[in-house]
Amino acid sequence: MLRSLLLTVAAASVTKLKFGQDVNYPPYAYLDASGELAGFGVDVVKGMNALCSTLEIEVVQTSWSDCWSSDEGGSLGALLENGTLDACMTFTHTQGIRNHYVDFSHAILNFNKAAGLLTLLEEGRPRVDGNSHLAGLNIVDVGGWAPTEDCLGMVRNKCTGEKYSENYTLLVGDGNDDAMRMLRDGRADAMFIYSDQAKLYQCTGAVPPNWNCSLWENFGTDYAYVQTGQLEYVVNGTSLAMAKKGSKVPAQVNSGPPTTRTRRPTCLRAIAPVATAPALLQSAGLDGLTIRAVPV
Ligand SMILES: *[C@@H]1O[C@H](CO)[C@@H](O)[C@H](O)[C@H]1NC(C)=O
Ligand SMILES: *[C@@H]1O[C@H](CO)[C@@H](O)[C@H](O)[C@H]1NC(C)=O
Ligand SMILES: *[C@@H]1O[C@H](CO)[C@@H](O)[C@H](O)[C@H]1NC(C)=O
Ligand SMILES: *[C@@H]1O[C@H](CO)[C@@H](O)[C@H](O)[C@H]1NC(C)=O
């Protein structure tokens, strides 16, 4: 009697989780025109909440730096540290420093985001040549964002096939806009950044911008990429959940808490084949990609 009562209670129990995301990373994480949290991460969560009866994820707006901070070469953000948030969404699972502090869920896209280098164009010529090994130069990393600053030591120059000199000065900007300002005013010679970020920050009207559009104007005439496609820093693409190290959350997100009746995996494994997945990707502007299919 007691045993069956316990089973009933266990079967009905729902794991409630609170996930945070910032709003300046379209199409992954942004506010829509009516001010609602939107993006590919939120779409996946909605799908999981609908599919996974054992999991209920609430998404709240937070600052990326509440999740991951560039302080001291990289550290856990305050709200992941003290448990206010169970995880943060749409972080890239990078190699290096993040793995000392966090655990990641599986990736949600079959696409790893490459890094690259932006530099100013001066009379049509790049300030930093694509062949440069960066010796003696000032390079700014986008603080708090992937690729983290240690990743510059992992990637190769795609023109020469070699790793960069260690003889550069690494600066850290407070997010994309601040790093771009440092590039524009000459404090930095080049910027280490996702190789699609300049495109994502063109203000096309598709998403209400949450960044300074004028800093990103004249892409291709004021500034350009002299490196793209650098992937050596990625472990596993865009994750749904980045949680404090040792947390159970990545496992819960990957497969859902086991139910008493069945150990059949749910959640991230369940959403990949759902019929709405291609529509989700298309509406997020990610058509051509697929949700990474996880073998069940
Ligand atoms: C977590 O840290 C934030 C920011 O420092 C603070 O506002 C909040 O009260 C803390 N919460 C807990 C449960 O310690
Ligand atoms: C990467 O993600 C895939 C599916 O999204 C998963 O099968 C794999 O275990 C993940 N690898 C790591 C190292 O997290
Ligand atoms: C670093 O680069 C600068 C400028 O190119 C050069 O003067 C210096 O000798 C280099 N140092 C090392 C250790 O290579
Ligand atoms: C955006 O950047 C431009 C160029 O640096 C600057 O003049 C302007 O004040 C910035 N706008 C805001 C709202 O910060």
The pLDDT of residue 123: 94
- The closest-lying atom of ligand 2 relative to the alpha carbon of residue 295 is 7
What is the spatial distance between Cα 117 and Cα 276, in angstroms, rounded to a whole number? 36
78 lines ligand 2 (CB under 6 A): no
**160 backbone dihedrals φ, ψ, rounded to 5°:** -100, -15
Residue with tokens 């959640």: 267
Q: What is the pLDDT of residue 12?
A: 52
Alpha carbon of 215 to ligand 4 centroid (Å): 7
Concatenate the DSSP letters of all residues of the chain into one string. Answer: -HHHHHHHHHHH--EEEEEEE-SEETTTEEE-TTS-EESHHHHHHHHHHHH-TTEEEEEEE--HHHHEE-GGGSEE-HHHHTTS-SEESS-EEESSTHHHHEEE--BSSS-PPPEEEEEEEETTEESS-TT---TT-EEEEETTSSSPGGGGGT-B-TTT-PBPPS-SEEEEESHHHHHHHHHHTTS-SEEEEETTHHHHTS--SSS---S-GGGG-SBTTTEEEEEEEE-TTEEEEEBS-EEETT-SHHHHHHH-PPPSS-----THHHHTT-TTHHHHHHHTT-BTB-PPPPP-
Pocket test for ligand 4, best of 214, 217, 223 (most atoms within 8 A of CB): 214
Q: Which domains does the chain have, with CATH numbers?
A: 10-111+235-283 (3.40.190.10), 115-230 (3.40.190.10)
Instruction: Classify strands 55-61 and 15-21 as parallel, antiparallel or unpaired.
Output: parallel
Q: How many Å lie between the centroid of ligand 2 and the Cα of residue 211?
A: 31
Tell me which ligand sits closest to the C-alpha of residue 212. 4
Dist. CA 219 → ligand 4 center (Å): 16
Mean pLDDT by runs of 10 across the 296 residues of the chain is 48 84 92 89 83 85 96 93 97 96 87 93 96 98 95 97 96 97 98 95 88 97 97 92 96 66 50 51 56 40
The residue written with tokens 């819960």 in the block is 252
Q: Rounded to whole angstroms, what are the CA distances from 232 to 98, 115, 154, 223? A: 15, 9, 6, 24
| 255 alpha carbon – ligand 3 mean position (Å) | 51
Ligand nearest to the CA of 291: 2
Prediction pTM value: 0.86
Q: Which residues line ligand 1 (CB under 6 A)?
A: 78-79, 82, 84
Which residue do the tokens 């070469």 mark? Answer: 73
**Closest CA to ligand 3's atom 14:** 167
Ligand 3 proximal residues by C-beta, below 6 Å: 135-136, 167
How far, in Å, from the CA of 194 to the mean position of ligand 4?
22
What's the CA gap between 189 and 88, in Å, rounded? 32
Tell me, using a 6 A CB cutoff, whether residue 106 lines ligand 2.
yes
How far apart, in Å, do the first and last CA atoms of the chain sit? Answer: 35
Q: In this structure, are residues 244 and 76 in contact, taking their beta carbons and an 8 Å threshold?
A: yes
Radius of gyration over every alpha carbon of the chain, rounded to an integer in angstroms: 21
Query: Any idea which ligand is nearest the CA of 138?
Result: 3
pLDDT value of residue 263: 45
Rounded CA separation 183/219 (Å): 13
Ligand 4: centre distance to CA 217 (Å)? 12
Instruction: Give the number of the ligand closest to the Cα of residue 209.
Output: 4
Q: Which of 109, 73, 101, 104 has its CA nearest to residue 91?
A: 104
| 244 Cβ neighbours under 8 A, 6+ residues apart | 76, 80, 81, 83, 101, 102, 103
pLDDT at residue 45, as a whole number: 87
Q: Residue 162 has which token pair?
A: 């070699």
Q: Which ligand is nearest to the CA of 95?
A: 2
pLDDT at residue 264, rounded to an integer: 42
In this predicted structure, what is the pLDDT of residue 97?
96
Give the residue, out of 93, 106, 292, with the most ligand 2 atoms within 8 A of its beta carbon, to mutate for a pocket test.
Answer: 106
